[in-house]
Chains A and B, each alone.
Chain A
Amino acid sequence: MPQTSPKESSYREIRSLKDYRRLMKSYYLIAKNPRWFGKKVAWITSGGAVEPLYAMGVLPFYPENYGAMCGASRTSVSLCETAEAQGYSRDLCSYARCDIGSSLSGKGPLGVLPKPDFLVCGNNICGTVIKWYEIQARAFQVPLFFLDTPFIHNELEAHTVTYVRKQMEEYIAFLEKTVKGPFSEKRFLKVSARSLEAVRLWKEVLELSRHRPAPFAAFDAFIHMAPIVTLRGTRWAVWYYRKLKKELEARVKNKEGAFAREELRLIWDNIPIWYDIRNLSKMLFRHGAVLVADTYTSAWTLKPVDLGNPLESLSRSYASVHLNLGLEHKVTKMVSLMEDYQADGFIMHSNRSCKTYSLNQYDLKKKVSERTGKPGLIIEADHTDSRSYAAAQVEKQIETFVEMAKKR
């Protein structure tokens, strides 16, 4: 995580970070002790429909966020090894291995994880989560609701929307049965409105970096994305992003960038290399390069919820998240980011743990470079398992790339 240290990087720390920390600490306090607050806990995938959960008063816990936390705190390798000792292959997603390792050992940055009352899995981000959640359903012997969102190679078709919407109705019936309480339309609308507002604010926050200099680097976004994932649908997410946006608007007004020096603007593709964010950030800064946007955090700028028909629009929204879209859509998105953020190039993380994100990156790189005339670089790593990362080699690749991009 970038820290204030003018000497080493002239990075401008986000003042709202204190509020962010307080907010997330409070969330994890409740997540760790749900019974104190009379809450049931549902483990849910990062692209899962969280609004019905908040509407039912259930606390969502995100194993993927937890995986990121393990990566950032550099505790993931030992947790992965615990899972591997049980027979889980090292080639499997390291978020899943962290979660399984942590569930088995009771170790990790949060200690013993909150036991789920039930699980909610959406495959709009990958097929990995289906298997991962099946494992946890067997381990904890709790119900699992699976929301199936067929992959969109070309267009989102009407029968796909119908399929997802009907499953949303099933989801609500599942919640009523599992939580043993009625689903309140009024409450759901309120939560959906907050979700809509938080998503809008998050989008606006990210778009502020279209300005030069960018007030908010992708490395900041990797940190400050937690509330849009975890607290989407609560007033806390709205409160926090309003505050953050205000701070960043002031930066724009004063022409203050996230970093004092911004000679090269780059786009990042894929999940961050959580255990090396700080190092990469510093290294890029040394070369005057700033990551101004990324495809990962912008994945939570979901399509706006239509409050006149929230279930239908949530269905459309969750069915068409970035990772559930085919190569042509990904090319379009990267090209838009390159153009909208006036980027000079892009870095793609070929992530061993995420085939959905990484499998087509060679063609994606080629297409984006063809359409924008800008260079791209692919680096190999894993989002949390540092054993699959050759730091010195990646640094050398980035240095060479940045120097080359500057000369163009």
Chain B
Amino acid sequence: MSSKTAFSNLISELGEIASWSYAETASHLPPERPAVGYFCPYVPEELIQAGRAIPIRLMDTPIKISHAQAHLPAYCCHLVKSALENYLRGDLDFLQGIIFSQSCDSMKGLADIWALKGRLSFQFNLMVPTRLDSPLARDYFKIELEGLKKTLEERFGEISRQSLQEANRLFNQIRKQLGGVYARMRQDPLRLSGTDLAQIVQAGYRLDRERYLDSLNRLLELWPDHPEGKSPDVPLFLTGNMAHSAGWFSLIEEAGGRIVQDDLCSGGRTLRLMVKEDQDPLEALVDRYFNTYFCPTKYQGPLAHQETLFKEVRESGAKGVIFLFFKFCEPYYFDYPDLKKFLEAQGLPTLLLEIEDPSQAREQLKLRIQAFVEMLS
């Protein structure tokens, strides 16, 4: 098999993993390792990994909402609704436990409903401070992380300093290699589409991470040295929340856009979460959340979101920015008008796409993206 074919096969393989249902995900997990669910990158996957469990990130799924309607009002986002639907249907029963982190008001509410139903054997609510500009918050968060570590140890056995160091290294490697994939995609855009990239990202949340790192390593090794050519499509930056369904990426690409970078909280933004390897591993995990701006649910000064986003957009070489937000997501919608104004004042046109279920009608959104792309062409 030629390396070009192996490269294509690997992309297809990761694409297939990204499309797994939760049942398929469960059937592919190593039976000796328990699976633990989480939603938000403020839950350190490294701790779960160090506890010999497999972290499974719960994301929005294209699912018909029926059971969840008895618990949630209409005005909460699809992520919350679909996650609860999956949970109530029993799709997540393969999880040993769930770790919630304090983020938005809807997730706080979801955590309480989750606990009330009690389908999983344990639930830990990690109280991530909202204020991440203060040493007081750091001290508080460290105690919270110690509490999480203790809970995981009670369930799965001791988490040694060495195992946590190894987990930190593993996830740093994943971030490094994923960052490499983003960079290669920018240089060689015809080789890997944004849709493929979205699937590669999603696959990472469904797999044993050692296997995932191996896939990323192979992908970069197999990547042909010579670029396939230049893309005529308009380079775009995609910003928003946890909306890494490949469908949104393919929609943008079908409309003539090319995603050169994203800062979705399931994608490019996680590259900011590198952990220092030369200090105490738990301290290092705490520190990383205070060293970078990550999420609009947190406070790190009134300009933190704007400055971080602008810097990354500039570095990406994008000609425009697409905001991709779940409907009813307050933290993002509050930030949007000032971000839009600021980016446009810097000569970067923007487009807002409000999304709900990934299976929703695409044509109207596609027309809007086409008009945006034409304007930038």
Contacts and interface: CB of A to CB of B under 8 A. Distances in A.
A144 B104 CA distance: 20
A92 B105 CA distance: 12
A146 interface: yes
Interface stretch (A32-40, A68-76, A120-128, A283-291): A120-128
B105 A356 contact: yes
Q: Which of B112, B127, B133, B303 has the most CB of A within 10 A?
A: B112
Interface string A286-304: 0000000000000000000
A123 B331 CA distance: 13
Nearest to A84: B337
A369 interface: no
A72 B41 CA distance: 41
Contact of A134 (B302, B333, B336): B302
B297 A153 contact: no
Given A126-B105, A135-B338, A327-B116, A163 B137 contact: yes
Contact of A153 (B111, B136, B328): B111
Chain B interface residue bracket vs A: 35 or more
B330 interface: yes
Interface string A126-137: 111011101101
A122 to B, nearest CB: 10
Contacts of B113: 327, 360, 363
Given A153-B111, A159-B140, A160-B140, A359 B76 contact: yes
Interface in A338-365: 350, 352, 355-356, 358-363
Contacts of A153: 108, 111-112, 115, 125
A186 to B, nearest CB: 26
B112 A360 contact: yes
Interface in B94-143: 102, 104-106, 108-113, 115-116, 125, 127, 129-131, 133-134, 136-137, 139-140, 143
A401 interface: no
Contact of B105 (A127, A160, A328): A127
Contacts of B296: 131
A280 B105 CA distance: 28
Nearest to B296: A131
B302 to A, nearest CB: 4
A361 B338 CA distance: 33
A360 B109 CA distance: 6
A131 B131 contact: no
A312 to B, nearest CB: 15
Given A146-B299, A150-B129, A150-B140, A355 B109 contact: yes
A131 B335 CA distance: 7
B50 to A, nearest CB: 22
Given A87-B336, A359-B73, A148 B143 contact: no
A148 B130 contact: yes
Contacts of A135: 302, 334, 338
A377 to B, nearest CB: 14
Q: Which of B105, B136, B137 has the most CB of A within 10 A?
A: B105
Given A134-B302, A153-B125, A127 B71 contact: no
A167 B131 CA distance: 11
A353 to B, nearest CB: 9
Contacts of B73: 350, 352, 358-359, 361-362, 380
A396 interface: no
Q: Which 5 A-B pairs have the closest CB atoms?
A: A359-B109, A131-B334, A87-B337, A327-B112, A148-B131
Given A131-B296, A131-B330, A359-B108, 16 more contacts: A86-B337, A88-B334, A88-B336, A127-B297, A128-B330, A131-B335, A135-B338, A138-B303, A151-B102, A151-B127, A160-B127, A163-B137, A170-B136, A326-B108, A355-B330, A359-B110
10 contacts: A86-B337, A130-B130, A134-B335, A150-B130, A162-B140, A163-B137, A328-B112, A362-B70, A362-B72, A363-B71
Interface of A: 86-89, 91-93, 96, 123, 126-128, 130-132, 134-135, 137-138, 144, 146, 148, 150-151, 153-154, 159-160, 162-163, 166-167, 170, 326-328, 350, 352, 355-356, 358-363, 380
